[in-house]
Amino acid sequence: MKDPDKVLMGKRSRAQGQRFEKRVREDLEKKEWIVDRWTNNIEFI
């Protein structure tokens, strides 16, 4: 059986990671950088 505390910790960790990625991506796009969502590559123009 899975430990309920570990399951909850994993859900929170994934959610926190998604919020972080969104915040960083929005910041880079505001600075007019092009960010590829799937590979996290950045292109310089």
b/e map 31-45, b = 16+ CB within 10 Å: eeeebeeeeeeeeee
Return the pLDDT at 9: 97
Positive or negative CA dihedral for 3, 13, 35, 37?
A: positive
Q: What is the per-residue pLDDT across 1-31, written as a single tens digit (0 to 9) for each?
A: 889 999 999 999 999 999 999 999 899 889 9
Return the pLDDT at 1: 85
What's the rounded Cα separation, in Å, for the pair 33 and 11? 30
Domain segments of the chain as ranges: 4-43
Return the pLDDT at 43: 66
For range 22-41, the mean pLDDT: 84
Torsion over CA of 26, 40, 18 and 1, rounded to 10 degrees? Answer: 180
The pTM (predicted TM-score) of the whole model is 0.69
Band (pLDDT 50/70/90 cuts) for residue 45 is low
